[in-house]
Chains A and B, each alone.
Chain A
Amino acid sequence: MEHVVIIGNGISGITAARHIRKLSDKKITVVSTETDYFFSRTALMYVYMGHMKFEHTQPYENWFWKKNRIELKKGFVQHVDTTTSSLHFSDNSILNYDKLIIATGSKPNKFGWPGQDLNGAQGLYSKQDLDMLEKNAPNNKVCKRAVIVGGGLIGIEMAEMLLTRDIPVTFLVREDSFWNGVLPAGESDMINRHIREHHIDLRLGVNLKEIKDDGNGNVKSIVIAETGEEIECNVVGLTAGVSPNIDFLKESAIETGRGIKVNRFLETNIKNVYAIGDCAEQHEGIGQRRPIEAVWYTGRMMGEALARTICGTPTKYNPGHWFNSAKFLDIEYQTYGWVWAQPKDGETNFYWEHADGNKCININFNKNTNKFIGINTFGIRMRHEIFDRWLTQEQTVDHVLTHLKDANFDPEFYSQYEKEIVAKYNSENNKQLKVKSKSWKRIFA
């Protein structure tokens, strides 16, 4: 029986394992150093905040693996020997494979800041990071202030977490507005305000110079590069992005760049070795996507596609229209298609913001053809299926706005803003669009 070994029990590795099991009878072993069982990394924050216990982050009950004959092995793979098809563990044990799937995810970036390895300086990626944060910042007596370095999605999550323990947070963001490498100015500014409303000390356009030692190897303070200001703190959250977790492959014959180089079939340069999820790097980005996509659902899709390939149906990783979501403190964010921080050539944006300053949408479309390219929506939930369809059908922005009620996904009885949105669009563009009422027929078309 063919033995498929998967390194990494995150979403991509586990999805691959589950689908291989669905499609075949192969022997499957999943290896991980982190935890015995698969858990949802995206939910780490909720454990610290007390919304859930760690066990709630595990999507499958513990009996699931045995029942589905997915063997789990705990251990750290130090070296992959592709000539003998074997994995070498840090405890010197060896595991042979017929097919190897590398799904080792990411690790937090550290840019060589002085003091980055002191006690109290930490990222937020793994279960171990969560445990460490619990130790470093159990309350505001032990942790009098925390400084978070890096204004991305994990940074703001970490800020939200610490706030629930009444720990004052200073948030250092390199850009001059939050996440404005991704978000257009309107949205970015809205989130700036929202962060400040939550009493987070947001510092824009600043970099970390160094982290100072208290003499015992603990964090004492940080220094801001631009101003030289020193801020006393006990915890420094290093959240300046992530990069593929592939150091253990250095000695192997597997080709790597920033990540593990793979083709559209997720095959590496070595036969029978594949890579998926955060650690995989496409030779070329697919469509407008980046070569490395460190998001949840792409890992899942790669796992689905690769399982087919491995079970005899070669299947390209073929992600459809881009989508994603996040939550910034109390504001939910969803995106479908592409909205760039700056409209590209020939594109323009339509922006609407609610008077309360907590909801907005931004639609990116082609100036000349009016073709709808993408939408950012904050504080209003939208239907994925509808936008996916509109993108495939290459609908115009006028069509999208006229039928916007079909896409509304907010809970029943919520106030709806389509009229207001379209009125603004009409007045800006000299049009007379009328909002159509929701139609189940169209939604299920």
Chain B
Amino acid sequence: MKAIKYTGLAIFIAALSIFTATLFLGDFKASKSTINEFIETKGIKSELLKKELLTVISDTKFNNSIAFSSAIKTAINKSNSYYDALIEKYDSEKNWDKKGEQFQYKVSNVGGITYDLAKKSGKGFVVENRGLLWWLTFGMGIIGALLFILPNLILLGKPGIKNDHIYHNAATSRGWIAWGVMIYLVIFYLLLYFAPYYVVNWTFILDPISKALNGGPASQWFVYGFLYCVIMIVMGVRMYIKYRHNKYQIMRTTSVLFFQIVFAFLIPEIMTSLSMPGYDFKNAFPLDYDFFFEWNLKSLTSSGGIGLFILVWGIVLTLVVVPLMVYFFGKRWYCSWVCGCGGLAETLGDPYRQNSNKSLLAWKTERWIIHGVLALSLIMTLVTLYCYFSGADSFIGIKSQWIKDTYSFFIGAWFAGVIGTGFYPIFGNRTWCRFGCPLAAYLGLVQRFKSRFRITTNGGQCISCGNCSTYCEQGIDVRAYAQKGENIVRSSCVGCGICSAVCPRGVLKLENGPEEGRINPTEVLLGNDVDLIELAKQNRKAS
């Protein structure tokens, strides 16, 4: 069994290495006609850039996407700085007309343009061997990971909580493996968000699948979505094995897998193929922070019936469905049963859940940051909507474009992606959900103040062992409540149920019940039969 496991690991590492190495493979060559066509479709006006592209790039063979994209970027930057200089010159000459003319020649979306041209120019090994490479990367990766995971059915012994050696293992206790994984993930996200042209080869590998699903070639987002699903399924198998004695975990895992694969991945792809706006019906604002951005509103309002339906649904989802469901079931219905971020955290992230910080300081920090992000997302939306309807470009002194860009960059890309997922191995699997997600902040407020959900503490049974707090991915000091006999009612609890699962004394139960009696401050622990009426009288006398 162990041999199979380690073979699996070897295969997986091989697949991951090939996957990484593909970025350095393949040729890139754009013909004159491709470049001309590209200049046309992109509406590039800069003569300098056109010349650069036609002379330096076209008909030149580059050995990999890095060299190719660097060349394009150099060309664009050269052209941009040329016009920048002109702008400066006319500016100092106070020649406003001339100055204004120059802006049309500048290229703002450097990354996007570079990516698009790279996507058109891939040649050679990668493009010609998509099937083979799929098997060597995704195929072998999946097989290797499964071979690594499946033997646990036997190796873990009888069903039950088996957290053995989590703190002895460099992968799960912030050891060198964890740091290595973190660096890999961070680089992955940086490339994905900020330099997609370097990962264009991955998109080639998935072109056939993308074509089959939505009729078009794969973008970097398709790669991400596909990878996301694959990882969740494989790590979901791990969850099924690890918690096979725990039906709550099995149901929950099944649910997040379903919503990720069907709602987040398949339905939007199919919608796109039917030339509708691709929409993830479960992605609620303000997690879906660009729902009210002009481009989305425009696209929805111009998409006929379905667009209108999405618009109404999106609003109803946030204003009615979300709070109502939180009232009945707690925020877990979303965070641990439906959400894609939560889904990844509960599958890929499960091995890292113990790394969340449990200190009081972390809790205080969390409340400031997460509510700050919520406020920011609301302000941004307000500004955007005001500008959308009024046609102005700023509101209460805030530029719409600026706040959208800033939010997308810092919150959307850095916080949710690079830090939120990249730092799993070090800060735990819910960094984004705990500190950053504005939707979680909103759900949390409802859960804290108006909900039937609580984690009931079983009287006086707690032995303060600390398993619950250690494995709470949200960094909640569950034990602090349990050992006092108090129920846990916390805005940040995502109802993953793991505290209840790991408790060796059966102390914790997630449940939905009457609001009355949900919060139970306990003067005296159950079992200690001091006469409370007598006690109250005496206290009064004493004071």
- Contact check, A411 vs B510: say whether CB atoms are below 8 A apart: yes
Q: Does A297 contact B (CB under 8 A)?
A: yes
Query: Is the pair B164, A413 in contact by a Cβ cutoff of 8 Å?
Result: no
* B303 in contact (CB, < 8 A): no
1/0 per residue, CB under 8 A from B, across A302-313: the answer is 001100100011
Confirm or deny: B180 has a beta carbon within 8 angstroms of a beta carbon on chain A: no
Q: Are B461 and A384 in contact (CB under 8 A)?
A: yes
Q: Which residues of B441-471 are within 8 A (CB) of A?
A: 456, 458-461, 463-467, 469-470
A87 within 8 A of B: no
B165 within 8 A of A: yes
Across the interface, name the chain B residue whose C-beta is closest to A322. Answer: B527
A383 within 8 A of B: yes
- Given contacts A300-B525, A313-B538, whether A323 and B459 have CB atoms under 8 Å apart is yes
Instruction: Give the contacts of B160-194 with A (CB-CB under 8 A).
Output: 160-161, 163-169, 173
B535 interfacial contact with A, CB 8 Å: yes
Pick from A50, A326, A412: contact of B165, CB under 8 Å: A50
Q: Which residues of A contact B216 (CB under 8 A)?
A: none
Task: Tell me, yes or no, whether B505 is within 8 Å of chain A by CB.
Answer: yes
Across-interface contacts of B459 in A (CB, < 8 A): 323, 383-385, 388
B64 to chain A, nearest CB (A): 43
- For residue B539, give the distance in angstroms from its CB to the closest CB of chain A: 7
CA distance A53 to B461 in the complex (A): 22
Residues of B within 8 Å of A285, CB to CB, are none
Do A330 and B158 form a contact, CB below 8 Å, given A50-B163, A305-B530? yes
Q: Is A175 an interface residue (CB 8 A)?
A: no
- Count of A-B residue pairs with CB < 8 Å: 172
| Chain A residues within an 8 Å CB radius of B500 | 411
The CA of A330 and the CA of B460, in the complex, are separated in Å by 22
A43: interface (CB < 8 Å) = yes
Chain B residue numbers with a CB within 8 Å of A111 are: none
- Contact assessment for B158 and A198 in the assembled complex, using a CB-CB cutoff below 8 Å: yes
Give chain B nearest CB distance to A383 CB in angstroms. 6
B246 interface residue (CB < 8 Å to A): yes
Cβ of B479 within 8 Å of any chain A Cβ, yes or no, is: yes
A50 & B248 in contact (Cβ 8 Å cutoff): no
The answer on a CB contact under 8 Å between A42 and B157 is no
| A321 CB to nearest chain B CB (Å) | 7
Minimum CB–CB distance from A335 to chain B (whole Å) comes to 10
Beta-carbon nearest neighbor of A161 in chain B: B164
| Interchain CB contact under 8 A, A321 and B505 | no
Assess A11 versus B169: contact at CB under 8 Å? Given A49-B164, A318-B528.
Answer: no
**Chain B residues closer than 8 Å to A444, beta-carbon distance:** 513-514, 516-517
Mark out the residues of chain B between 101 and 129 whose CB falls within 8 Å of any chain A CB in the assembled complex.
none
A59 touches B466 (CB 8 A): yes
Contacts of A296 in B (CB 8 A): 463-464
Chain B nearest CB, measured from A293 CB (Å): 12
Given A56-B469, A197-B158: A313 and B525 within 8 A (CB)?
A: no
Q: Chain A contacts of B97 at CB under 8 A? A: none
Task: Return the chain A residue nearest B500 by Cβ.
Answer: A411
B359 lies within 8 A of chain A by Cβ: yes
Point out the residues of chain B lying under 8 angstroms from A385, CB to CB: 458-459, 526
Name the A residues within 8 Å of B461 (CB-CB): 297, 323, 325, 334, 384
- A304 in contact with B167 (CB, 8 Å): no
B501 at the interface (CB under 8 A from A): yes
Contact A320/B465 with A50-B164, A51-B470, A411-B497 known, Cβ cut-off 8 Å? no
Contact with A along B514-543 (1 / 0, CB 8 A): 101100000011111110000100110010
Residues of B within 8 A of A53 (CB): 167, 173
The 7 closest A-B pairs by CB, nearest first: A384-B459, A330-B160, A381-B506, A43-B465, A50-B165, A320-B529, A413-B247
Q: List 5 A-B contacts (CB under 8 A).
A: A304-B524, A318-B528, A330-B245, A332-B504, A385-B526
What 11 new A-B contacts, CB under 8 Å, besides A51-B502, A198-B158, A301-B525? A50-B163, A50-B167, A52-B167, A59-B466, A164-B165, A305-B530, A318-B530, A381-B509, A409-B458, A411-B509, A413-B248
